[in-house]
């Protein structure tokens, strides 16, 4: 079996609209089920408000992990870092997120609401069907 390409990982991820996000900071660990959007370069986009523990944790530690999917005995683990976005890139991220979730367009103007973009550093794709396969992908910030 050959390793999945980034395009194949993207196809798997874009069909999963929910993921468990995990953060940690001075307030401790936090995990939550979140709506996510995925870009072709495997960035994950999500929103949260300043009132959440994950928001406070991300202020302390920009590393984030996700667990995505379980359809057909396949799952993906993802570790990444919050991306620093220019104003132009931020507008692109807003557009991508609200394209995936048009019903949430009003959230953009909620007080204290923020949209975040996470760049991958490590992805593990696991397929528990026979024959079982597990593959890891590593990403460098200087190459993305």
CATH number for the domain whose boundaries are 6-143: 2.30.110.10
37 backbone dihedrals φ, ψ, rounded to 5°: -120, 150
How far apart, in whole angstroms, are the C-alpha atoms of residue 93 and residue 100? Answer: 11
Neighbour tally for 139: CB within 10 Å: 18
Q: Is the pLDDT of residue 142 over 70?
A: no
Q: Is the pLDDT of residue 144 over 70?
A: no
**Mean of the pLDDT values across residues 41-64?**
95
Q: Choose among 132, 116, 118: nearest CA to 65.
A: 118
Break the chain into its structural domains and give their ranges: 6-143
70 backbone dihedrals φ, ψ, rounded to 5°: -160, 15
pLDDT category at 87 given cuts 50, 70, 90 is confident
pLDDT category at 143 given cuts 50, 70, 90 is very low
Q: Is the pLDDT of residue 1 over 80?
A: no
How far apart, in whole angstroms, are the C-alpha atoms of residue 130 and residue 99? Answer: 36
| 124 within 8 A of 135, measured Cβ to Cβ | yes
How far apart, in whole angstroms, are the C-alpha atoms of residue 117 and residue 106? Answer: 19
Q: Is the pLDDT of residue 118 over 60?
A: yes
Best-predicted range by mean pLDDT among 76-80, 82-86, 88-92, 110-114?
A: 76-80
pLDDT at 66: 98
């Amino acid at each position: 079996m050959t390793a999945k390409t980034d395009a194949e990982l993207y196809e798997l991820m874009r069909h999963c609209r929910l993921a468990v996000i995990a953060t940690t900071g001075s307030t401790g660990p936090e995990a939550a089920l979140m709506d996510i959007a995925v870009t072709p370069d495997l960035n994950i986009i999500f929103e949260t408000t300043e009132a959440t523990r994950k928001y406070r944790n991300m202020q302390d530690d920009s590393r984030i992990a996700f667990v995505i999917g379980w359809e057909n005995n396949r799952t993906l683990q993802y570790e990444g870092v919050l991306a620093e976005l220019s104003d132009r890139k931020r507008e692109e991220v807003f557009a991508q997120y609200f394209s995936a979730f048009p019903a949430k367009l009003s959230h953009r103007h909620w007080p204290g609401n923020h949209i975040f973009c996470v760049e991958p550093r490590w992805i593990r794709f696991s397929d528990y069907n026979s024959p079982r396969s597990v593959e890891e992908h590593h990403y460098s910030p200087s190459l993305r």
